[in-house]
Structure 1
């Protein structure tokens, strides 16, 4: 079952895959206010319907676990660190969870982290330009997901530390101002 809550901001390099639930829940409405959409999709027909409605033309599947790195723990840990670095993309990021469990963190309008705990049948849409990060949960350290794309994927992660501001970021910030 999906859960949305404010992150407790007590993560370290050694414990970022823990739940970090501050105890303050976040509603789906609050997520919508920052452009994040959540769906529970029970079957392929419903996934295809949503993809058609939102004009997603391409998709692929990704599995993220130690086996997907041929048991190379250093390569696995390097990829996990890369995904957890705060960044945004110039396109929407869409993930439909087929199996496993993971966390997407997104920044709210006040620059606080909201954590979304996703499991099987959860689909999350992050708008272009939103700062976010991802990690597997320490419980499973495994996820299989469908990634959906409107066109060919543009997967440049624009890390916050670079201070690079693109049109996608500017448009996103304008869209959430009150």
Structure 2
């Protein structure tokens, strides 16, 4: 399943190493010179990604196949923007706190765009830009954070196996079983396999 629906993925998902600037989190934060990384590097970190048809997601057979294969029974859609999200600034600040979840974080961008920041094996930040049509799965136990870009808007589908649990565990939470499993499968082994859906 991870190797399907890959055509044109680089047009809706790209990644680069981040600088250390404290400027507005919504800026791209490229290093100088820019250090783009291939999407295969994300796969090494256990991240799954696809390009899907966001204009017809209700009827998209590829989305249905992914949901069935990975057991994503729960789905909702959320708009993240100042006009539609209550307590927008506070929520965006919370999303940007480095954290992990004990389950996968699955997001499918239906409109707009945003940044998922993840840690590589050497604990360096990688910024993953996701645009309309991009779907990304962050494995359980991976430290990450999210922010909008300077357009301040994303409409995202959230998927989950079973009833959703959105609990963030801010770093450090290395004692959690999900983190230990992620470190063992991905970090300690050089990252060559996707973590099973939970």
TM over 0.5, yes or no? yes
One of 30, 39, 42 as aligned partner of 1:31: 42
8 Å contact from structure 2 (residues 114, 149) kept in 1 = yes
Work out whether residues 174 and 180 of structure 2, in 8 Å CA contact, stay in contact via their aligned partners in 1.
Answer: no
Over the aligned positions, Cα root-mean-square deviation in angstroms equals 1.3
Contact 2:47–2:136 (CA<8 Å) still a contact in 1?
yes
Q: Cα deviations across residues 61-119 of structure 1 (Å, max 9, x unaligned)?
A: 0100011136xxxx211100000000000000000000001000000110001111111
Residue aligning to 1:121: 133
In structure 1, the residue matched to 2:161 is: 150
Q: Does 1:45 align with 2:66?
A: no
Looking at secondary structure, tell me which structure has more strand per residue.
Answer: 1
2:46 paired with 1:68? no
SS in structure 1 at match of 2:20: coil
Matching residue within 102, 114, 132 for 2:114: 102
How far residue 165 of structure 1 moved from its aligned partner, in angstroms, is: 2.2
Match of 2:99 among 67, 87, 111: 87
Runs of 4+, deviation exceeding 3 Å? none
Contiguous gaps of at least 5 residues in structure 2 = 1-10, 190-198
The normalised TM-score by structure 2 is 0.82
Change (3 A) 1:11 1:47: farther
Q: In 2, Cα distance between the equivalents of 1:63 and 1:48? A: 22
Residue pair 2:79, 2:85 contacting (<8 A) in 1 also: no
CA distance in 2, matches of 1:173, 1:133: 18
Find out whether 1:132 has 2:144 as its counterpart: yes
Provide the rounded CA distance (Å) in 2 between the counterparts of 1:10 and 1:164: 26
1:56 aligns with 72
After superposition, give the CA deviation of every residue in 1:122-161 in whole Å (9 maximum; x if it has no partner).
00000000000000001x1010010010111111100004
